[in-house]
A and B are shown apart, each in its own frame.
Chain A
Amino acid sequence: MALLTCEDLSLGYEGKAILEHVTFSVNNGDYLCIVGENGSGKSTLMKTILGLRKPLHGTITTGEGLRQNEIGYLPQQTVVQRDFPASVLEIVRSGCQGRQGLRPFYTKAEKKLARDNIRRMGLDDLTRRCYRDLSGGQQQRVLLARALCATGKLLLLDEPVSGLDPKVTAEMYQLISDLNRRERITVIMISHDLGAALKYASHILHIGARVWFGTREDYLQSSVGTAFLQLGGVEQ
């Protein structure tokens, strides 16, 4: 039984499909990269997996004891967040919120989990700092720490490196790769940087007019993959 299985999904807005016949599954420990052109529906697919939107057609099932609210999420950054007065600690802790139910305070265990994830992301010195005063890379690490508070199993990352400079981008990729390899956290990442996708991912889901899913090795041999590579899918 796979961790996450999507079968014949159709996605769209107001009944109009923007993406059809998406079928793929993710096993424990996989690193899946979702690639495709801008506007092809990558973010929409991620929101559907998260249960924020309903698919027009098809099913999403979770397995291996993964519950719907045990998926960590790193959203594409919104404008609102950028000038929000909140400390790093407050944001990371809010990752535990989903499990809280009606309990009004965080437990000792939840506070410790937040501390641990802050350390894991190398944010120890920034705990009390204000989110809006941090650099782009630091902000992304804060959001990653928050996502890790919500899950120990599956991370969904929507363009985690957009807007970061090359050095910070490489560090971010390394951090994600470490989480995947060392801690066996399953990763699903959207990226329009095909080079990185091919370097780190174990599987590729290519969406667009043609949908393709398989391992990285097969993707390099496939017609979809070679065509996308030639189009300049590799940006670096």
Chain B
Amino acid sequence: MTLEAYLGLPYVQKALLVGVLISMCTALLGVTLVLRRFSFIGDGLSHVAFGAMTVAAVVGLTNDMLLVMPVTIVCAVLLLSVGQHAKVKGDASVAMISVGALAVGYLLMNLFPPSGRSNITGDVCTTLFGGTSILTLQPQEVTLSIVLSIVVVVFFLFFYHKIFAVTFDESFATATGTKTRLYNLLLAIIIAVVIVLAMKLVGSLLISALVVFPALSAMRLFKSFRSVTICAACLSVICTVAGFLSAAMFSTPVGSTIVVANIAVFALFTLGGLIFRRS
């Protein structure tokens, strides 16, 4: 099949649209996460979501989001807002929760295999790497992704200066009257929601990549918070489109191809940063 014919398929168009929206959201959130040393939260929270999904399956919930969403949000809030003052440092607590949830989830899956599904390894693989699930989106998933992306972008535009203040210097912001707790809470909830949705669609590996790579690449070249944020969002979208198309052309897995595109851009920007600084 030619690339044109492939892009003409409605399910492919939907997948591309959802991929672009998700990568934009994760890149926007990624800038503040990376700057606060929470790069691994995407990974951690998606593993939490995975753990919660297996619990939901064992309990026999028909709509597992009823369990997955609240659990992930609570974890995000705990990690992001309480984590700052906790005894266990941010990165360590993320690692702990991430690994713990993954292990428990996998254990539960093996102890209580979901009825009608025998391919546990396949299920786990899909959760981690996304598999082809982005190509088999339901109409309501597409709508949800669109609505959510709009919410994230509006949130970001509306609270942009507050996000900057809270990210740059939380103590100063609190001391001078910014409601940092409120914004941290909102941020944590949004991050959790984006990650849960994204992990169902693209897998937890791709989420982590989409959170860290665009932000890190942008920081190599750009020197203000605004330019880093804009650049990260653009890079993320470009890499997703490029990765998606190459995956179609070379029949490679979508998720990992997008990650490779991000790695290539990071390498390019690192090089650019070095040359730029010399001159």
Contact = CB atoms under 8 A, between A and B. Distances in A.
The 4 A-B residue pairs with the shortest CB-CB distance in the complex, in nearest-first order: A69-B177, A98-B177, A130-B223, A98-B176
Given A94-B169, A97-B162, 6 more contacts: A51-B174, A84-B35, A86-B225, A87-B224, A94-B168, A97-B165
Interface string A112-128: 00000000000000001
29 contacts: A50-B171, A50-B175, A52-B171, A69-B177, A71-B175, A73-B171, A81-B169, A84-B35, A85-B219, A85-B223, A85-B225, A86-B164, A87-B225, A90-B226, A93-B161, A94-B165, A95-B176, A97-B162, A97-B176, A98-B173, A98-B176, A98-B178, A100-B162, A100-B178, A104-B160, A104-B161, A146-B172, A150-B176, A151-B176
A91 interface: yes
A90 B164 contact: yes
A72 interface: yes
Contacts of B224: 85-87, 90, 128, 130
Contacts of A106: 161
Interface of A: 47, 50-52, 68-69, 71-73, 75, 78, 80-81, 84-87, 90-91, 93-95, 97-100, 104-106, 128-130, 132-133, 146, 150-151
Given A52-B174, A99-B177, A94 B159 contact: no
A85 B178 CA distance: 21
Contacts of A133: 223
A130 B276 CA distance: 14
Given A75-B172, A87-B223, A104 B164 contact: no
Contacts of B162: 97, 100
Contacts of B168: 81, 84, 86, 91, 94
Given A80-B36, A130-B224, A52 B219 contact: no
Interface residues of B, number: 28
Interface string B23-60: 00000000000011100000000000000000000000
A138 B169 CA distance: 17
Contact residues of B: prevailing secondary structure? helix
A70 to B, nearest CB: 8
A69 B180 CA distance: 13
A73 B161 contact: no
A98 B168 CA distance: 14
Most buried by A among B158, B164, B219: B164
Contacts of A91: 168
Contacts of A95: 176
Given A51-B175, A73-B176, A75-B169, A94 B161 contact: yes
Contacts of B165: 94, 97
A97 B169 contact: no
Contacts of B158: 104
B223 A97 contact: no
B267 interface: no
A80 to B, nearest CB: 7
A11 to B, nearest CB: 16
Nearest to A106: B161
B109 interface: no
Contact of A68 (B36, B173, B177): B177
A72 B169 contact: no
A35 to B, nearest CB: 22
A42 to B, nearest CB: 15
Nearest to A105: B161
B154 to A, nearest CB: 10
Contacts of A47: 171
Contacts of B178: 97-98, 100
Contact of A72 (B157, B161, B176): B176
B228 interface: yes
Interface string B210-239: 000000000100111110100000000000
A104 B219 CA distance: 24
